[in-house]
Amino acid sequence: MPTIEDHSFLKICAELANCLSISLASARRKVDLAASRAGSKDLASRKIIAEKLLTKARLQCQEGNQSSSAQLDILLQALEEEENFMTED
């Protein structure tokens, strides 16, 4: 797909990427996939879909669902019973 060089679209995608802690390319790909599922091909509808995804991501952060980087930090913490666990080679 050719690159879309609309400043407002790129700004929305950049905000989405920042909110989800993903790259700009991944955010654009997420918008493209949602647009293709909806059957949208024009830029205006892609902007609307990107804004909806951004609003949804912001609501999840505000509702107590943490960002993906915070969730990863929680998942990587060691449990008390596993803190001193060592594997032998």
pLDDT grade for 75, boundaries at 50, 70 and 90: confident
pLDDT digits (tens, 9 = 90+) for 15-37: 999 888 889 999 999 999 999 99
DSSP string over 4-60: P--HHHHHHHHHHHHHHT--HHHHHHHHHHHHHHHT--SHHHHHHHHHHHHHHHHHH
Q: What is the pTM of this model?
A: 0.68
